[in-house]
Chain A
Amino acid sequence: MAKTNNDLLNILEMLVETPGPSGSEHLIRSKIEEEIRDHVDEIYTDALGNLIARKGKKAENGKRVMVSAHVDEIGLMVTHVDENGFARFISIGGVSPFTCIGGRVLFMNGTQGVIGNERLEANEQPSLAKLFIDTGATSREDCKVGVGDVCGFERPFMNLGKRLVAKSMDDRAAVAVSIGALKAIRETSNEIYFVFSVQEEVGLRGAITAAYGVDPEVGIAVDVTRTGDTPKGVKMEVSLGKGPAIKVRDSSFIADPRVINWMVEEAKSQGLPYQMEVLEAGGTDGAAIQRTRAGVPAGCLSIPCRYIHSPSEMIDVDDLQNCVKLLTGMLEKPIEI
């Protein structure tokens, strides 16, 4: 048990510390491929860069299932380097200026930098246009980054015992859960496509095309979700440590009640804690899968997470473990939808 726990945490640490904003997923993709190659029947990369791994072959009472966890994280792209070497940028995915100021970034080409801001007036709210990245360059010529260069936020993984903190728990925690289930599944009559999708943060783009290619009969996204358990936070029923969250809906889709039921019944049969989740925001790969071709019943398994889209996202280690157990059980057994 302890060994499995360590394995999962080691994988998670490796994943969260690998840079890979939307559109620049090559590093994280090859790390995942290395990790799972020996545990799956087939593995390939599609036209947009989604990594797709098949486990199992569809038997008579089996279903073709797609499980999607996105590998991309939010980040920044340089739009302009001024004559003094300061780099202006645009966001990749949903980046708030509040989480940028004073932050540290790591570019895909290895360059590091910090984010500074222009002077703000008394009541002025910061906006991304008033921020810039300082890589320590003194001029445009000696700046090691240029227009189009991409960076992610840089923070080390922090293990607080029960709670784990890192940037990109969204969605690397889900990638870890997916990998955990992928490794744990022994026999199954289902044909499972583990999709490690790209470009989710900029509009679920990878999942849209991956779902078309896989053409599943049922789909589950694995992603993080907000909690309502911090001081004067948004009112929401999900709390850290109270178990995997079963998504009923978010702003991008309404989960199919049959998929919700499948998840609830599996959690009950294993005696796992679980929470029902209604999120009045956000979107996941589940919405992309649902709209594929002639329509696919889809849902989402959510990992409760505080401070989403900040460089210090926090999850609970038991929630993580229970998500692996829940997902494994769901995929191993026959699916009645």
Chain B
Amino acid sequence: MTFELLPFLKSMISVSGLSGYEAPIRDVLTPVWQELSDRTWVSSHGSLHAMRFGVGAEPRPKVMIAAHMDAIGLMVTGIEDGFLRITQVGGVDPRILPGQMVIVHGTKGSQPVDLPAMVVMPPAHLLPKDGQKGPLPQKYLLVDTGLRPAEVEKYVRTGDVISFATEPRELSGETISGHTLDNRASVAATTIALDLLSRRKHLWDVIAVATLQEEVGGIGAMGSSFDIMPDFAIVIDVTFAKGPGGGDTVLFDMGKTITLTWGSCDHPALYDAMQATAEEYEIPVARDFAPSGAGTDAYDVQVAQAGIPVVEIGIPLRYMHTPVEVVSIKDIKRAGRLMAEFITDLPLDFMNTVRWE
């Protein structure tokens, strides 16, 4: 590869980039994608696009790869005696919050300032009845920056975002843990695909999109799809790996397989074609189910304008939406390779095979 996967992935999960406030992750991603594409640009909302021109005769068909780059986190709703009251951005289980190390993104003068802080539980006797026992409802949690109230008032205001500060850590068996592997693991896989494609000839135009605000409603995917209207789209996101707390949903073996989604957002002809490619290149894939649509960008890409056929790839991940998510590096590479092989092999008249039958 022309770029180092592990340092790149770690750099992505060391910055914030909450839904609506994605500049930090975009800044990490832009120089890397610029190297691997012919053209990069930012949408009116802020999604990052990178386009590689194909070598086929014009007019060339185009494929869009969508991987959301935004992170879940918290937001300041008010300040009381120097303590910050908080709400969520994206879905966070409040039970994982007490004791979490976070960063409050405030302002010093006119410059942004990052304040290390932590989420704290007030003592029970200071709370109403429903805060005395059991998991603490989010409305009672506070964030403590360690600063005195006067300073807090200077640097922090209602509406400032708060991100998780967990550092990336390599665990055994080629796995990595950190925050926002949902969905930066997929962004990494997309980057691998771009890198592989940069060293081959492909007939189709390829547009990779790091979408924003997926966690709060697929906003980036909606806009980019409307704008680009590709012939078909690949959406890549994470899915649930087997492990503690998985319950009895359909789960997958992290490190052993990636997934393809079968459901109402996924075109069966694309599913079959992608599966055939996986078999040909010996990339293990398993079937993931989303009979009524999964909560991914696919939901919004599919209904843009007069419709876009979609295929979805999943990377199994443990402990989704916590700051200690875990994925397998092997699975990231598999996903990247699958996309690259699939796109490389696309003949110009591929869409003739994408029919309903």
List residues of chain A with CB under 8 Å of any chain B CB.
Answer: 217, 228, 235-237, 248-249, 253-257, 260, 275-278, 280, 290-291, 293-297
What distance in Å separates the Cβ of A30 from its nearest Cβ neighbour in chain B? 34
Q: A249-B20, A254-B20, A297-B44 known; A236 and B226 CB under 8 Å? A: no
The tally of CB-CB contacts under 8 A between chains A and B is 76
Q: A235-B78, A260-B159, A280-B77 are in contact. Are A294 and B44 (CB under 8 A)?
A: yes
Q: In the complex, are the beta carbons of A291 and B222 less than 8 A apart?
A: yes
The docked-state distance in angstroms from the alpha carbon of A167 to that of B263 is 46
Are B158 and A278 within 8 A (Cβ)?
A: yes
* Contact assessment for A295 and B44 in the assembled complex, using a CB-CB cutoff below 8 Å: yes
Binding site for A on B (CB under 8 A): 19-21, 43-45, 47, 75-78, 85, 87, 89, 139, 157-159, 213, 216-217, 219-220, 222-224, 226-227
Known: A249-B20, A249-B75, A280-B87. A237 touches B223 (CB 8 A): no
Q: A235 touching B85 by the CB < 8 A rule? A: yes
A291 to B43 CA separation, bound complex (whole angstroms)? 13
Other than A254-B216, A291-B219, A295-B220, give 11 A-B pairs with Cβ distance below 8 A: A235-B85, A235-B139, A236-B77, A277-B159, A278-B77, A280-B87, A294-B43, A295-B47, A295-B222, A295-B223, A297-B45
Q: Describe B's contact surface by its main secondary structure.
A: mixed
Question: What is the minimal beta-carbon distance from B355 to any residue of chain A, in angstroms?
Answer: 28
Instruction: Find chain B residues with CB under 8 A from A293 CB.
Output: 223, 226-227
Cβ-closest chain B residue relative to A218? B44
In the complex, 6 of the A-B residue pairs with CB atoms within 8 angstroms, ordered by the A residue number, are A256-B20, A276-B158, A290-B219, A293-B226, A294-B223, A297-B45
Q: Which residue of B lies closest to A275 (CB)?
A: B158
Q: Which of A217, A248, A291, A295 sits near B158, CB closer than 8 Å?
A: A248
By a CB distance below 8 angstroms, the chain A residues around B223 are: 291, 293-295
Instruction: Give the CA-CA distance A212 to B184 in the complex, in Å.
Output: 32
A251, chain B: closest CB distance, angstroms: 10
Task: Identify the closest chain A residue to B305 (Cβ).
Answer: A293
Contacts of B220 in A (CB 8 A): 295
Quick one: closest A residue to B159, CB to CB? A248
Q: Which 5 A-B residue pairs are closest in the complex by CB-CB distance?
A: A295-B223, A248-B159, A254-B20, A294-B227, A276-B158
- Neighbouring B residues of A235 by C-beta, 8 Å: 77-78, 85, 139
Contact A237-B78, Cβ < 8 Å, known A278-B87, A291-B219, A294-B227? yes
* B residues near A248, Cβ cutoff 8 Å: 75, 158-159
Query: Which has the most chain B C-beta neighbours within 10 Å: A237, A254, A276?
Result: A254
